[in-house]
Structure 1
Amino acid sequence: MAAPSSPPARPVRSRTSGPWAKLSTVALWMPFPALLWVGGYAGAEPRLFGLPFFYWYQFLWIFLSSGLTWCAYLHTTPTRPVRTGAHRPADPGEGLR
């Protein structure tokens, strides 16, 4: 028995060019000058939970960098096509025979 063909997928939109790509590039480069300018944050004050500014500023950038990378990924990854009515076996073991 021939397997039913799935309907054609909608075309994939590309977000790898345009304003999102430029914004993502800026977001990915933001941590570099913020952390390479050590003279700007090399101090003990203000303290946060007893930690000098030097340490908690760098630790904060770990989370900020992760968030910026995630946002850049979301905005530059092409959207996936949505397939509706795809063939699903009625019996879970059907594909194993």
Structure 2
Amino acid sequence: MLQRVVHIFKSATKSFIMGFVIVYLSYFLLFGKNGIINFIKDKNQLEELKTQELSEFKKREDIKNKVERLYPKHLDADLLDEQYRRATGEIKNNEVVYYY
């Protein structure tokens, strides 16, 4: 009788410990520092940063292109006129200017 109680107690203890270990590991697998939830958040943040980087790269290329077109060797008269008008606000007669 006593052996049977001891055997049941050992089985219950093993089951409890195994259950606790499974719950503990599952929790950290999902919510831990390097868990699945943080992995998904980091993955989404990486996508957003890549999109932002591409946008900033395009802006940088546009500015670089404008600067190159204002060099004396590659002077773009239309761009120079546009920049001058934008800076001074000068408008010719019978002319409408749209800024965007």
With the shorter chain as reference, the TM-score category is 0.3 to 0.5
- Structure with larger RCO (C-alpha < 8 A, sep 6+): 1
Bigger Rg, which one: 2
TM-score by length of 2: 0.34
- Report the structure, 1 or 2, having the larger helix content: 2
TM-score under structure 1 length normalisation: 0.34
